[in-house]
Amino acid sequence: MSCAAPHGPPSVDATTPAVLVLPPSFGHDEVVALCEDVRALLRSTGAGGVVCDASGLGPPGLAAVDALARLQLAARQAGGRIRLRGPAPALRALLDLVGLPFEVEGEPEQREPALGVEEAVEPGEPAV
């Protein structure tokens, strides 16, 4: 007995991170489908984020930056975020250059310090 593969993102539970594997290259239609997959994964898992496996992306360029920005926007609109897995150093540099910060799997989160928190100054040190 055989059955057709299910359409859409795979089913995962809340303890398993939802992973979306990005293709080596993509056009407009693929980006629209990937955005819908991100939204569907966030809805179906109830998780706060989706891991996007970027290890198979082709040479980094503005098309990849645009696609990742759209994926991040789709995730935020659905109440979540995306985290990258295995991005090439050149892609990370390009994302930094255009000002799109992404969390990378395996690296600590970088967040802004809490408002109202001040660093202690030792007696005798000049205030900065």
- What domains sit in the chain, N to C, each tagged with a CATH number? 23-104 (3.30.750.24)
How is residue 25 annotated by DSSP? S
pLDDT lower than 70: segments of the chain: 1-16, 108-122, 125-128
DSSP state of 53: E
Model pLDDT, residue 125: 67
Alpha-carbon gap, residue 4 to 16, rounded angstroms: 24
Note the pTM of the prediction, 2 decimals: 0.70
For residue 106, the model assigns a pLDDT of 78
